[in-house]
Structure 1
Amino acid sequence: MENLVSMKDLSVEQITAILKRAEDFRDGATSTLKNNYTMANLFFEPSTRTKMSFEMAERKLQLNVLPFDSGFSSTLKGETLYDTVKVLEAIGIDALVIRHEQNNFFEELIGKTKVAIINGGDGTGNHPTQSLLDIFTIWEEFGTLQDKVITIVGDIAHSRVARSNADALSRLGAKVQLVCPTEWQGEFECLQDFDEVIESSDVMMMLRVQHERHKENGIFSKEDYHQAFGLTVERERKMKDGAIIMHPAPFNRDVEIASELVECDRSRIMKQMENGVYVRMAITETILKGRE
């Protein structure tokens, strides 16, 4: 694996190998990397979890991490992403984690740079490392994804998480169903009745309403959305025994999820964040070992 830009790049065997290596790191394993690699994290969109998770993973792997601040970079002077990457290649960077507002930004980079590219999220397109940590969290919980019913609820059309997960989870044997208002289903087939799927779901994966990606005023007030498509306390009580709650975060409390449920016994939201470090360690190590 030379780069990771989309879940479609990964076979089931490769996904499984990453999960097992993440499990090793969770259980205290140390890196087997032989060389002294240098990385940088290029985030052109706001991020707390993904950026800090990668930085923690890189430090646990004992990599050299060069700081990058897009607000003080030459991109403000008109430098293209491609030219920025070529500059970093020239000074000796081995791998880059990039988040960018442009869908498929990586297409202008793959095959044109020696630097390994890890996609930290592209527009509304892909978020493979989030998908892998979600998969790891479900796998850790149930021991398998086969025949698990995973319901993804929310702003489907604008969600790179939904896009990455819908494909990968299905290939791993899960039954994936999407729920959202008709205005937010995009190219997907979605259900509109949230209540009809609650009792049968093993995983309830809520998505943030991405107000910043909506060109017009929202179609719902926060209160109306919460009642129609939010995970309310009343809906949580109808979930079956052993079912869990997930959310890629950041979350809007009392919009897509009731504030009381963010850290309830069913919630694995904080566990997802913890697992993100192990999974990103596994991904980064796998890519860098391919260069040895």
Structure 2
Amino acid sequence: MKTPSLQLDEHGRLRHLLTMEGLPRDLILRLLDRAEGLAQATSGAEKKVALLNGRTVVNLFFEASTRTRTTFELAAKRLSADVINLQIAASSTSKGETLLDTLKTMEAMQADMFVVRHEASGAAHFFAEHAAPGVAILNAGDGRHAHPTQGLLDLYTIRAHAPKARSAGFGALSVAIVGDVLHSRVARSDIHGLRTLGCVDIRVVAPPPLIPAGIESMGVRVFHDLERGLDGVDVVILLRLQKERMLGAFLPSLAEFHADFGLTRERFRQLKPDAIVMHPGPINRGVEIEGELAYGERSLILQQVTHGIAVRMAVMAEILGSPAAEVLS
């Protein structure tokens, strides 16, 4: 199974979105441009466009989510699609129905797209491999593997707000990804996206137990000292400590992690004056970031949530919209 052949049809058009890995540069830029157009088109009193009128999008979230599930729902509704939020705890999967049976049952209800979040890496690929022709799968996060729309919205946020990205492009940026890299599908998606857009100075900063083996092969530099890792960077992407995925003792304590790897006021003052701070959420206040910095100067955490709506609209419109309709693209 090759992801690119699953994600793209014979004409190079996006069919499913499963991972940032292997997405062509031109397609990523097209999605970012389309998101910008949709953000502008829905910024007034009328927040809907009719691009997906008559289409049905099903949210299949097997993991808890607030930001991702809600912004996917808003995105689909703003495109005028019909949306079904399947309550997994109350669905037939809780009675022993398999993932494949769930997929086929929802297909029989004439759904056009499934937005899938699952704790198992590869779940979205499984759905894509077994989906009927014309039924799209959009990965909303699978295990430690990938979270492609988060990667896209992070690229969108960087392009919109990092001064050097606007003036000189991604190739001029230095980006530090800090925290629980080991368990982070966001980190993997961000790295693939940044590399595709030409960023060559990508740093991952974490204690040794939270660095995946062999991550240097992805074209990043590893730092175990936060001050060194943040030196001269333009973008800081903080990651949540995913305690629910940690088996055993990865860290002595949360307080010690914050002391060594948390973004404090003192470390914030040492950043470049135009450096931006991001976090996919939810935030562990006082762990990854000092509380008052979370929504303060140069923090784009809330903007990321807003940008996520436009980016997810762009992906849905790209997959389900008419190829001939170039409006808002």
TM-score when normalising by structure 1: 0.96
**One-letter code aligned to 1:112:** H
Task: Assess if the C-alpha contact under 8 Å between 1:151 and 1:177 holds in 2.
Answer: yes
Aligned-partner Cα distance in 1 for 2:84–2:39: 25
Deviation at 1:9, TM superposition (A): 4.2
Match of 1:167 in 2: 192
Match of 1:176 in 2: 202
Deviation at 1:35, TM superposition (A): 5.0
Deviation at 1:108, TM superposition (A): 2.3
Aligned-partner Cα distance in 1 for 2:188–2:21: 10
The 3-state SS of whatever aligns with 2:21 is helix
Match of 1:80 among 53, 74, 98: 98
Match of 1:156 among 165, 176, 181: 181
Match of 2:274 in 1: 242
Match of 2:4 in 1: none
Task: Assess if the C-alpha contact under 8 Å between 2:147 and 2:189 holds in 1.
Answer: yes
Establish whether residue 25 from structure 1 lines up as the match of residue 57 from structure 2.
Answer: no
Aligned-partner Cα distance in 2 for 1:216–1:271: 35
Tell me the matched-pair count.
292
Task: Assess if the C-alpha contact under 8 Å between 1:44 and 1:70 holds in 2.
Answer: yes
The 3-state SS of whatever aligns with 1:236 is helix
Match of 1:145 in 2: 170
The 3-state SS of whatever aligns with 1:109 is helix
Establish whether residue 208 from structure 1 lines up as the match of residue 240 from structure 2.
Answer: yes
Establish whether residue 52 from structure 1 lines up as the match of residue 88 from structure 2.
Answer: no
Aligned-partner Cα distance in 2 for 1:34–1:278: 14
Of residues 31-40 and 260-269 in structure 1, the stretch that sits farther from structure 2 once superposed is 31-40
Deviation at 1:7, TM superposition (A): 0.5
Match of 1:113 in 2: 131
Aligned-partner Cα distance in 1 for 2:272–2:35: 28
The 3-state SS of whatever aligns with 1:7 is coil
Aligned-partner Cα distance in 1 for 2:208–2:129: 39
Aligned-partner Cα distance in 2 for 1:146–1:4: 25
The 3-state SS of whatever aligns with 2:80 is coil
Aligned-partner Cα distance in 2 for 1:113–1:86: 8
Aligned-partner Cα distance in 2 for 1:59–1:230: 37
Deviation at 1:32, TM superposition (A): 5.8
Show the 5 A alignment for 1:64-79.
64-79=82-97
Match of 2:311 in 1: 279
Task: Assess if the C-alpha contact under 8 Å between 1:31 and 1:285 holds in 2.
Answer: no
Establish whether residue 257 from structure 1 lines up as the match of residue 270 from structure 2.
Answer: no
Residues 30-65 of structure 1: per-residue CA shift (max 9 Å, x gap): 646265101110000010010000001011101101
**One-letter code aligned to 1:74:** S
Query: Unaligned 5+ residue runs, structure 2?
Result: 1-13, 43-47, 217-221, 325-329
**One-letter code aligned to 1:150:** V
Aligned-partner Cα distance in 2 for 1:59–1:34: 9
TM-score when normalising by structure 2: 0.86
Establish whether residue 217 from structure 1 lines up as the match of residue 237 from structure 2.
Answer: no
Deviation at 1:107, TM superposition (A): 2.9
Q: State the Cα RMSD in Å.
A: 1.5
Aligned-partner Cα distance in 1 for 2:267–2:98: 47
**One-letter code aligned to 1:8:** E
Aligned-partner Cα distance in 2 for 1:194–1:34: 45
The 3-state SS of whatever aligns with 2:203 is strand
Aligned-partner Cα distance in 1 for 2:230–2:53: 49
Aligned-partner Cα distance in 2 for 1:219–1:274: 33
Aligned-partner Cα distance in 2 for 1:163–1:8: 9
**One-letter code aligned to 2:281:** A
Query: Unaligned 5+ residue runs, structure 1?
Result: none
Task: Assess if the C-alpha contact under 8 Å between 1:19 and 1:279 holds in 2.
Answer: yes
Aligned-partner Cα distance in 1 for 2:85–2:130: 23
Show the 5 A alignment for 1:184-195.
184-187=210-213, 188-189=215-216, 190-195=222-227
Aligned-partner Cα distance in 2 for 1:101–1:34: 29
Task: Assess if the C-alpha contact under 8 Å between 1:126 and 1:164 holds in 2.
Answer: yes
The 3-state SS of whatever aligns with 1:152 is strand
Aligned-partner Cα distance in 1 for 2:136–2:317: 12
Question: CA 1:118–1:31 in 2, change beyond 3 Å: closer, same or farther?
Answer: same
Deviation at 1:290, TM superposition (A): 5.7
Of residues 178-187 and 128-137 in structure 1, the stretch that sits farther from structure 2 once superposed is 178-187
